[in-house]
Each structure stands twice: as C-alpha cells, then as structure tokens.
Structure 1
Amino acid sequence: MPRTGRPKAELILSDEEREQLLRWARRAKSSQALALRSRIVLGCGDGLDNKTVAGQVGCSANTVSKWRARFLESRLDGLVDEPRPGRPPVITAEQVEDVVVATLESTPKNATHWSRAKMADRSGLSKSTIGRIWKAFELKPHREDGFKLSNDPQFVDKVYDIVGLYLDPPEAAVVYCVDEKSQVQALARSQPAFPMMPGMPEKRTHDYVRHGTTSLFAAFNTADGTVISSIHRRHRAVEFKKFLTKIDAEVPDHLEVHLVCDNYSTHKSPSIVTWLEKHPRFHMHFTPTYSSWINQVERFFAYVTADLLQRSDHRSVRALENDIRAWVKGWNENPKPFVWTKPAEQILDSLKRLLQRTTGAGH
C-alpha cells in the first residue's frame, strides 16, 4: 500500500490575501525572499501539493512545507521577516555630542579647523565615524564662506528703498539695475584646449597671453529680464554718461526711470549729477556699501562669466567685444527676470541673527 504521508492542512486564500501575494510576487521592489514565499503560498492556495509547488518555484519541498505552515499560523504576517536586533550601537549619545560640540566650539592645536583625522585622534573614534557624525549634523569644517557687513549709516533705509522697488515697483515706471563689469580681459590660451571625451573633462592650459581689456555696461530690467548694454574700453564718468544717454533713448518717454547703482564714484561725479538734473525722470537709488548682493545686475554678470568668459579664448579685444554683444543679444531673445522673494524685514532679521552669532551685537 503506497504511503500517503501526513495529511496537509487545507490552505484557503481570501481575495484580499491573494491580491497582496500577487503584488509581492510581481513588484520589482519586493525582496527576492518575499517574492518566493508569495509564490509558494499562491501555489498552495491553488490546491497543489508541496512537491509540485517546489518544482514550480524552484526550491525544496521542505521550504514549501515551512512557509505553508508559517502562513497557516500567522497568515500574511508570517511571510515577512521580523527585524533582527543586530549589533548594539557602540557609539554613545555622549560621544556624538562631544564631537559636535568640539567641532562647533573649538579648534585643534596648530590648526584653524578640524579635519576628520584630527577629530578622530581627539575623540578616539574612527575617521569614518567622524565623517558620518558630521554628515548627520551637516557640519563641514573644511569649507568656509566669506561675508562683509555694511558700515553704511543708511543701510536700513536703502534696503527698504531697493527691496521696495523689486517687490512693489512704482506705476508708469521701469526699474533697472545698473553697473559695469570692468576690466574684462581678452585672454588667449597658450595651447589649444583638449576637447571633452567620455570619462575625461575638457582640459585647458592655465597660462595665457593678455590682449587688453574692455568693460561691459549693463542695465538689467527687473520686470522682464531684458538688458540694455554698451561696451567701452574705459569706465569713467564720460562712458557712464554715454550709457545713461543710451538708456534714455531706449526707454519710452512716458516712463519714469529708476536706477539701482552701487556707490562707485563715477555714478556720483559732478557731470553725472548735472546730467540727472537735466533728465528729471531719472531717479538714482544707491545700494548700501559692501552690499552688491542686493543689485540684481550682479547675478546677470555671473551668467556672463559662467557661460562666456570663464572658458574664453580671444586673440583680440575686438573679438571679445563681439562675443559679448552676441551673448547679450542671445540673452534678450529669451530674457530671464529674477524673482525677488525676501521682504526687507526678513533680510534685516537674517543679518541681525548673523551679528548675534559673530559678535553678540545686533540686539
């Protein structure tokens, strides 16, 4: 008489269980182990014996028996691995706090800032552990940013004035941010560049020959991003007055003109003052000292530098000037106004917090 073995408990799947098992079996992000267990239970739910299911899914009959029993005992929860306790952490909260506080409030001997190696020697932790702690708390001792606080006695008033122009410009008026990008050099690299290739960036020589300089005068329209520009070999009051005349010619007569400028002496020379008196629709708004960040034309100049000048190779000033004119023309074909979002109060609050952190002032 053939052996029939121990009778198997009947495994019946509900519709919800079958749908979940099918998702686990098909989903690309499921673990391979969970997908296999789901296929095992689905086969058993179809009434197949353990040996047949094992042949279909490619595992042993004992594995099928194990997961059949686990499912009958705990249903879907029985197929999911319980989280393993793992190795207990060997770094205490006190050690982490010590590293963070030391990074923020001290410096190593004979050095201006902490490195992973120096902090590892100090704390007794590994360099990789120090790196993970710094990453978790977003600490980067090897980096620094520069800043210079304005000493302008009218700083607050000027910030309110200029930010007010950006956020709430006057009616029947146009606002231009104006400045000169002076001493733009025509540089000829001493050797041709090696072009970019897969796995290798473009390579340029560090040495070059200077062929002269020029200056880009720009007026950035804060409303639509268009730019009025001129190029002059020098940047004296004479050239600035010519540029103002060009702005006057290009802006419709019925509009008032508000110009945001820095405190460069050229912008305040007697000849410019006289010109402004003869053109009463022009209104000058001077930025606070050491506050070029508030003048939007500086962001425009950054695009000129990154897109054109940083890798330029010009054998003459005229060639450089032609390329700058072409670049500005291309910009004006698809201008990009900058969206100013911070009100004056928020800017002043940020500066107050910076003062409190650095000097304890600003109360």
Structure 2
Amino acid sequence: MCADELGPVIPRTFPPAPGWSPDGHRIKAELDYSRGPEKTWVYGGLRVADGQQVTMTASSRNSVFYQRFLALLEDANPTGDIYVVTDNLSSHNSLSTRTWLEDHPRIRHVFIPVGACWLNLQEGWWRIFRKAALAGQSFAGPDEITRATRIATTQLNARAKPWIWGRPPPPTRQLRRRYIYCL
C-alpha cells in the first residue's frame, strides 16, 4: 500500500456571478471570498496490485487519525502482510504510532527517502482525485468535503487498474506503406 495525506482542504464559498441589469449594464458585485476556519485532511492508501484506494477524512493530521487510517487499511486487506510505503512524517514515526504498530504486526512501514515523494505512487493518485473530487468545487463545510471524497473514491475504484511505476512503453508502430517506384 502506498499511503499519504492530502491537505489541508479548506471549505470555501464564492459569491454568485454578477448579472446584467434590465437596461443592459453589468451589475458589479463586491468581492466576497471566504475561507472557513475548518481544515480537512484526506488520508489515502493505494493498493498498487489492483489500483483500489482507501480514503478517510480527518480534522487534523496527527498520530490519532493516522492510526485510525492504518486500522482502515488493515480492514481493507484482511489477509497477508501489509507494507505501507509512506513519507517520514512525525505522525508516522511517533511513539504512539510505533506502540500501536506493535499490537498490529501485519502492518510494516517502508519510509521513502526525504525529498523523493515521486517514489510514492499515491502522489499520482492524488492528481486524479483532485480532478475528480475537488476541481472547480465550492464546499460549505467539512461534511461536503467528506461526501465528495467518498463519491470520488467510489467512482475511481470502479474503474481501477494495477499501478506501475514509470512511463508505459511506447506503442508498437505499424508498418508504413511501402511504395514501389517504376521507371
């Protein structure tokens, strides 16, 4: 499993677009852009073998929510060992997380080197997720972000394929037409 956190995703609202008056003049609206104080973090784990994703939203990025997320990963993978490829964040290495991992021997961490986030395949999935769930959206609160996350994850899991690190091989070229020149 490749795991990572996305965020913070902040609820924000935009005013409606200005309209036109009956006599054809544009109505000017004051700029009213607001960000709520609530921040939402999206935890994600990509199972590389089949492309299935497990996501969870949380109000902060700390050891408690990370351990809840690891419990979700464990429930989603009922058999075998689980190797979690992740970055070296403090919540991944905290004493409480290491203590929690001792009680769950199936889960093992594999940390990627500092500055090499591109090695984590979860980063590529976040790009697809942002397009499907967050792009162009206006969220009023954390509940709407959670709902958008759940819907996008379900839709992306419906068409999931195995993930392969690297660029796909170029397609094989068909033979070009052969011309015969007669003199």
Where does structure 1 differ by over 3 angstroms across 4 or more consecutive aligned residues? none
Provide TM-score, normalisation by structure 1: 0.40
8 Å CA contact 2:12–2:139 kept in 1: the answer is yes
Q: Which has the higher strand share?
A: 2
Give the corresponding residue for 2:69: 243
Pair 193,232 (structure 1): closer, same or farther in 2 beyond 3 Å: farther
Give the corresponding residue for 1:53: none
8 Å CA contact 1:190–1:209 kept in 2: the answer is no
Q: Distance in 2 between matches of 1:321 and 1:281?
A: 28
Q: Distance in 1 between matches of 2:115 and 2:139?
A: 32
Give the corresponding residue for 1:221: 47
- Shift of the alpha carbon at 1:286? 0.3
Pairwise CA RMSD of aligned residues? 2.0
For residue 214 of structure 1, what is the amino acid of its counterpart?
A: T
Pair 297,193 (structure 1): closer, same or farther in 2 beyond 3 Å: farther
Provide TM-score, normalisation by structure 2: 0.78
Determine helix, strand or coil for the equivalent of 2:127: helix
Pair 271,234 (structure 1): closer, same or farther in 2 beyond 3 Å: same
Q: Which has the higher helix share?
A: 1
Task: Could you tell me which runs of 5 or more consecutive residues in structure 1 were left unpaired when the two chains were aligned.
Answer: 1-175, 195-205, 343-363
8 Å CA contact 2:2–2:45 kept in 1: the answer is yes
1:270 aligns with 2:60: no
Task: Could you tell me which runs of 5 or more consecutive residues in structure 2 were left unpaired when the two chains were aligned.
Answer: 20-30, 168-183
How many correspondences in the alignment?
A: 155
For residue 267 of structure 1, what is the amino acid of its counterpart?
A: H
Q: Distance in 2 between matches of 1:341 and 1:318?
A: 36
8 Å CA contact 2:2–2:47 kept in 1: the answer is yes
Give the corresponding residue for 1:323: 148
Using CA pairs under 8 Å that are at least 6 residues apart, name the structure with larger relative contact order, 1 or 2. 2
Question: Percent identity over the alignment?
Answer: 26
1:303 aligns with 2:128: yes
Which one is further off, 303-312 or 240-249? 303-312
Q: Distance in 2 between matches of 1:306 and 1:250?
A: 25
Pair 333,278 (structure 1): closer, same or farther in 2 beyond 3 Å: same
Q: Which has the larger radius of gyration?
A: 1
For residue 257 of structure 1, what is the amino acid of its counterpart?
A: I
